[in-house]
């Protein structure tokens, strides 16, 4: 990882640097290179604080929680799976509406890393499917925690512990909900995940990115 960071700290830049970035980042970009801290700034600015991520989670898992109240219990795992897979299109839509850049960028490898982290988390479906078949009562646990793994990469990318906090909450809330509400584990686990996403959304809305990265304006509302 350290070697990757060193290699990545000097890269060619071809696109226009957002005005939100400070003069140092703009100067380095024009010279054809960015430091790692400037990559972090660029990521936060172009992703506008990454609010689409927790907003989508709240929508998707709220849908699962409410659906579990009306759908027969034998189909709860199917409901959870369908709501999970709606995260991708809904997230892209919300990101586009907010003006967040989701695509990978040659001038900033942190975008590519973010995409690969999501692929890593999605690969846990190789575990979820056998669990669904052979131990269906445990399915809400593996799904509820598995996709939170990419939040660790998000923390490293942004230089803020919000991702580690989110993962810790997901583990605690999912396990507690699964244990305390055996009659509707999917609904309880989904509600716990919604709570974790809501707390992370509040955190991402209150982080002082301007001071943290010496930005001209708040990237969330720029």
Angle between helices 185-206 and 139-146 (to 10 degrees): 10
* pLDDT value of residue 68: 98
User: Residue 134 contacts by C-beta under 8 Å, 6 or more apart in sequence?
Assistant: none
Whether pLDDT at 6 is above 80 = no
DSSP state of 21: S
The residue among 100, 97, 108, 129 whose CA lies nearest residue 40 is 108
* pLDDT value of residue 30: 47
pLDDT in tens, 14-58: 444 455 555 555 445 444 578 999 999 999 999 999 999 999 999
The torsion angles phi and psi of 215, rounded to 5 degrees, stand at -95, 155
Query: What is the residue-averaged pLDDT of the chain?
Result: 88
With contact defined as beta carbons under 8 Å apart, do 150 and 120 qualify?
Answer: yes
pLDDT confidence tier of residue 222, bands split at 50, 70 and 90: confident
Rounded CA separation 105/169 (Å): 31
- Bridge partners of 108? 105
User: Residue 175 contacts by C-beta under 8 Å, 6 or more apart in sequence?
Assistant: 141
User: Residue 35 contacts by C-beta under 8 Å, 6 or more apart in sequence?
Assistant: 9, 28
H helical segments located in the chain: 2-8, 23-31, 36-46, 52-67, 76-85, 87-98, 109-122, 125-134, 139-146, 150-158, 162-180, 185-206, 209-213
Above pLDDT 90, what percent of the chain? 78
Rounded CA separation 147/113 (Å): 16
Which tokens is 76 given? Answer: 């709860």
Whether pLDDT at 13 is above 50 = no
pLDDT in tens, 80-128: 999 999 999 999 999 999 999 988 778 899 999 999 999 999 999 999 9
- Weakest-pLDDT range from 9-13, 146-150, 183-187: 9-13
Rounded CA separation 100/69 (Å): 34
Quickly list DSSP for 37-58: HHHHHHHHHHTGGGTHHHHHHH
With contact defined as beta carbons under 8 Å apart, do 189 and 141 qualify?
Answer: yes
């Amino acid at each position: 990882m350290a070697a990757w960071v060193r290699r990545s700290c000097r890269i060619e830049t071809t696109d226009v640097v957002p005005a939100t970035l400070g003069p140092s980042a703009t100067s380095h970009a024009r010279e054809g290179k960015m430091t790692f801290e400037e990559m972090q700034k660029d990521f936060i600015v172009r992703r506008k604080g990454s609010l689409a991520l927790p907003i989508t989670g709240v929508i998707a898992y709220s849908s699962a929680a409410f659906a579990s109240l009306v759908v027969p219990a034998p189909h709860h795992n199917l409901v959870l799976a369908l709501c999970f897979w709606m995260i991708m299109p809904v997230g892209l839509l919300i990101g586009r509406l907010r003006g967040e850049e989701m695509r990978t960028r040659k001038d900033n490898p942190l975008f590519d890393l973010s995409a690969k982290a999501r692929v890593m988390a999605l690969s846990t479906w190789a575990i979820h499917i056998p669990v669904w078949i052979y131990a269906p009562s445990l399915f809400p646990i593996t799904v509820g925690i598995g996709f939170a793994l990419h939040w660790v990469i998000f923390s490293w990318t942004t230089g803020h512990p919000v991702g580690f906090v989110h993962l810790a909450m997901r583990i605690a809330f999912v396990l507690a909900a699964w244990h305390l509400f055996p009659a509707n584990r999917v609904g309880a686990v989904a509600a716990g995940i919604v709570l974790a996403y809501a707390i992370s959304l509040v955190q991402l809305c209150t982080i002082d990115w301007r001071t943290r990265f010496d930005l001209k304006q708040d990237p969330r509302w720029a």
